[in-house]
């Protein structure tokens, strides 16, 4: 599939917004290409031009939209971080990794920059290098292929980097607060199928029990019937885990229920335990969520500093750093049939408002995907 561009301007449709006071809309965007001596116009040496087929939404899209104050200017800002599509132009430095026509997928995170719900994305692979050629053994549809990169990478980074000092392994006991969130689903599958951990406890609503146990959770706690998670968690430690506390706690929804009694649920730090959150102390409210609100919580900073100084328990609050390491790891797991992708719902490009409404509901079980290519 060789596409020859005869002008330096590639014009296409994308979903964009200017600021938090204006709605998302379909706009015409332009990428400027570079002239070559023999093939018309192409991309920079480190760039990959992708014709996007499908793109998934993430709560961070709403966080960024809600945070896009006038100070960030009125330049169009894109929707979407995950994508799958086809490489239509490959920069000269990337020819060992990609060929024109390759099926590709990855995460492209440029806060307040272009998004992936766009007919084309131009990716500087040196700066945003999580894109991968999809191996032929990965038998996912385009919609499924767009529905894992950001959340899988976040789960992988949590287990690899932000756990305690002891690597997660066969003797680990893991608690996932929000086992039914898209990040939680991937974390459960990684913990069970890759690290083969001993036990996983998931906090989710009762309506997701069968779903999370199907992915690998051993026990569940229904957050809808407990105002505070400490008591039911202590009960599971006592009855099901025979007194064994957790090696790693991962919070994917936000909260602070355990901090006052952390020693009752988390093993001692000297045994390599850790607690990580990707949200902070407050439950995320996708409708009003704002990246600046998270940063105003003193407790998070106090815990990060005391953890870094070696006081108390090992605590991390982190933002994903996309990496080829995680996306290629997922490809291996897809080929080995050890990772399932759950798509909650799928929308046409023109129906992006319905997709955003579903995302805002915080009820999606799996990813919300927008079909960018009409024929999907």
Enumerate binding residues for ligand NAP (CB under 6 A): 58-60, 63, 150-151, 154, 178, 180-183, 203-205, 207-208, 223, 252-253, 278-279, 283-284, 318-320, 362-365
| Residue among 91 and 255 whose Cβ is closer to ligand NAP | 255
Q: How far is the CB of 180 from ligand NAP (least distance, A)?
A: 4
| Residue among 161 and 302 whose Cβ is closer to ligand NAP | 161
Q: How far is the CB of 236 from ligand NAP (least distance, A)?
A: 15
| Residue among 91 and 179 whose Cβ is closer to ligand NAP | 179
Side-chain-side CA neighbours of 195 within 13 Å: the count stands at: 27
Q: How far is the CB of 120 from ligand NAP (least distance, A)?
A: 25
| Residue among 176 and 197 whose Cβ is closer to ligand NAP | 176
Which residues share a beta bridge with 220? 202
- Give the pair of three-digit tokens for residue 39: 């093939």
Q: How far is the CB of 125 from ligand NAP (least distance, A)?
A: 21
182-189 and 149-160 helices, crossing angle to 10°: 50
Query: How far, in Å, CA of 132 to CA of 108, rounded?
Result: 12
Q: How far is the CB of 234 from ligand NAP (least distance, A)?
A: 18
Beta-carbon count within 10 A of 261 CB: 12
Going 319 to 49 to 354 to 143, the CA torsion angle's sign is negative
Q: How far is the CB of 344 from ligand NAP (least distance, A)?
A: 8
Taking CA 280 as the corner, what is the angle to CA 301 and CA 81, rounded to the nearest 5 degrees?
115
| Residue among 35 and 363 whose Cβ is closer to ligand NAP | 363
Pairing assessment for the beta strands 47-57 and 120-124 based on DSSP bridges: antiparallel
Buried b (16+ CB within 10 A) or exposed e, 345-359: ebbebeebeebbebb
**What is the biggest distance separating any 2 CA atoms in the chain, rounded to whole angstroms?**
72
| Residue among 17 and 120 whose Cβ is closer to ligand NAP | 17
Side-chain-side CA neighbours of 159 within 13 Å: the count stands at: 28
């Amino acid at each position: 599939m060789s596409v020859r561009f005869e002008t330096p301007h590639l014009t296409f449709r994308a979903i964009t917004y200017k600021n938090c006071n204006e709605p998302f809309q379909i706009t015409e965007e332009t990428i400027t290409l570079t002239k070559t001596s023999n093939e018309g116009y192409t991309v920079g040496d480190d760039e990959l031009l992708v014709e996007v087929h499908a793109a998934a939404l993430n709560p961070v899209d709403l966080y960024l939209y809600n945070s896009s104050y006038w100070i960030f200017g009125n330049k169009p800002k894109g929707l979407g971080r995950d994508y799958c599509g086809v490489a239509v132009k490959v920069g000269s430095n990337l020819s060992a990794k990609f060929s024109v026509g390759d099926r590709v997928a990855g995460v492209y995170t440029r806060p307040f920059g272009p998004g992936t719900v766009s007919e084309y994305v131009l990716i500087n692979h040196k700066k945003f290098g999580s894109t991968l050629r999809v191996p032929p053994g990965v038998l996912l549809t385009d919609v499924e292929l767009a529905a894992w990169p950001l959340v899988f990478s976040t789960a992988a980074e949590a287990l690899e980097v932000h756990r305690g000092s002891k690597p997660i392994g066969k003797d680990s006991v893991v608690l996932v607060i929000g086992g039914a969130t898209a990040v939680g689903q991937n974390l459960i599958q990684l913990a069970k199928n890759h690290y083969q951990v001993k036990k996983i406890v998931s906090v989710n609503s009762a309506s997701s029990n069968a779903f999370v146990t199907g992915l690998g959770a051993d026990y569940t706690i229904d957050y809808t019937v407990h105002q505070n998670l400490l008591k039911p968690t202590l009960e599971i430690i006592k009855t099901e885990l025979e007194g064994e506390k957790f090696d790693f706690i991962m919070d994917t929804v936000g909260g602070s229920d355990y901090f006052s009694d952390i020693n009752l649920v988390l093993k001692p730090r000297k045994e390599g335990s850790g607690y990580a959150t990707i949200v902070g102390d407050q439950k995320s409210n996708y409708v009003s969520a704002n990246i600046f609100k998270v940063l105003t919580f003193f407790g998070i900073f106090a815990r990060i500093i005391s953890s870094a100084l070696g006081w108390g328990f090992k605590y991390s609050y982190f933002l994903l750093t996309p990496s080829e390491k995680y996306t290629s790891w997922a490809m291996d797991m897809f080929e080995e049939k050890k990772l399932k992708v759950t798509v909650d719902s799928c929308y046409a490009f023109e129906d992006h408002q319905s997709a955003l409404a579903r995302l805002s509901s915080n009820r999606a079980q799996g990813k919300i995907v927008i079909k960018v290519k009409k024929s999907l």
